[in-house]
Every structure is written in structure tokens, then in C-alpha cells.
Amino acid sequence: MMKHFAAVFASLLAVAGLAATASGVRFQATNNATMTPGGQRFDREYGVGYAVQVMSEASYFTWNIFNQTAPADRRPAVDDRVKLVVNFVSSNILAFERDSESSITLNAGYVNNITGDVRTLVTGLLYHEVTHVWQWGQQDTSRTHSWIYEGMADFVRLRAGYAAPYWLQPGQGSSWDTGYDVTAWFLNYCDELRPGFVAVLNERLKDGYSDDDFLQIMGKPVQELWRDYKAKYGG
């Protein structure tokens, strides 16, 4: 399905340039940092056309992980549109998603600093941010449980084959609620034990997160699952 879509997309791109439509959703990308070295590197080594393609592929991938084959099952994007803007942001942040507009900002300063492969690392980041667009529960604005949302976004990135070289290894970390890579590997463990776990968890996040979600879906408290997980990797 993703391959087929990529072919359709390539012909769309020739006409539309920086935007494409998939499953009723429009994907747009803009480079607003072309005056900075990072913005120029983005154009040379990645490009807005490729970014649009990756965002649509990442969306299909995420819907698939979330078991949301029908558009009606999905969380809607604002104006049915997902936007990427490359901007120079004066902080160390790599990228972020603004939930109120389904928009992703990629920090040109980070692109400039990348020492590894720009294609792989930026694609991994886009999978993470695109997951934020589609996951339920981001209305939890207090961000008390931001770790679960960050962990799920890195889980999708991991499943897509884009775990970053700077991540901790599976089994590392001190708690399931650390977020990002640590939580992603733990969710991966749970999802292997019970395939579809993350899809069900995402569905439950419509009503906000609770530790009880793990017990309800996995039949074991999260503390116990974490102990089993650590034991699998030698404690």
C-alpha cells in the first residue's frame, strides 16, 4: 500500500510541487530558513518534495499501527492538512508539533548540526512528529503524561526502522515513564507480547492516560510488566 501510494504520489508531485493529498488529507512543506546554512542544507540533502512524501507515508504507517484503516476512526487533522515548516529556532529543540494547527516545525539549526545521514535522521524525526498529529490524547494539555505521547511517537519511529543511533538500547533506562526511546522500547516489548497493544492504548487515550490502561490491555500492572521487561534484558 505504501509502495503503491509512493508511485501515485510521484506523479502528483510533478504537478503540485510542495503539496499532496492522501486519503483526504493534504500535506504541505515550506522551507522558511533558506537564508540559513541549515535551511540550505535541508534543500540540498532533503527537500520539501521529499518531506511531503515522507509525511504522507508516515501517516499511512501510523494509521496502520493504530489499526485505523477507515478515515472515520482517525483523529482529524486541523483543516484536513498536515504542514511542515523549516524554521530557524533559537533553542536546542530538534523539531516540534503544534497540535492546534497540525503543524510540524523542523529546526534548521539542528539540520545544520547533523553529523550522520540527514535523510535517515530527518525522516525519523518526521515519523515521530507525524505520530503526534494522529495520536489521541494530545488534548491532555496539562502534559502530565507527556511521556506516554513521546514514547508512542518514538515507538512508531522505531517500528518504521528509524530508531536513532543516539538512542538507548532495548532494556536500558530506569522507568517505563521516562518517555521517548526508553518508553518506545518498553511499548515495543508490550506490543510483541500482545500484538495491537499500541493501537488499543491509543484508542483508550481519547479519555486520557491512566496506568490502569496497561492492566486492562495486558492483564498485568505496568510495574510488573516493567520488571519482566528488565528481567528479559538481564535486569
Positions in the binding site for ligand NAG (CB under 6 A):
32, 67, 85, 87, 92, 107, 109-110, 113, 195-196, 199
The grid coordinates of residue 171 equal 532494556
The rounded distance, in Å, linking the Cα atoms of 14 and 204 is 40
The rounded distance, in Å, linking the Cα atoms of 176 and 72 is 31
Q: Which is nearer to ligand NAG, 16 or 114 (CB)?
A: 114
For residue 5, count other CB atoms closer than 10 A to its CB: 17
The DSSP line for 88-124 is: --SSS--EEEEGGGTEEEEEHHHHHH--S-HHHHHHH
Q: Minimum CB separation from ligand NAG for residue 143, in Å?
A: 22
DSSP state of 189: H
Q: Which is nearer to ligand NAG, 18 or 85 (CB)?
A: 85
Q: Which is nearer to ligand NAG, 28 or 53 (CB)?
A: 28
The DSSP line for 148-174 is: HHHHHHHHHHHHTT---TTSPPTT-SS
Q: Minimum CB separation from ligand NAG for residue 54, in Å?
A: 19
Q: Which is nearer to ligand NAG, 22 or 89 (CB)?
A: 89
Q: Which is nearer to ligand NAG, 67 or 144 (CB)?
A: 67
Q: Minimum CB separation from ligand NAG for residue 195, in Å?
A: 6
Which residue's CB comes closest to ligand NAG? 196
* Residue tagged 516493567 (cell numbers): 226
Q: Minimum CB separation from ligand NAG for residue 207, in Å?
A: 18
Q: Minimum CB separation from ligand NAG for residue 38, in Å?
A: 8
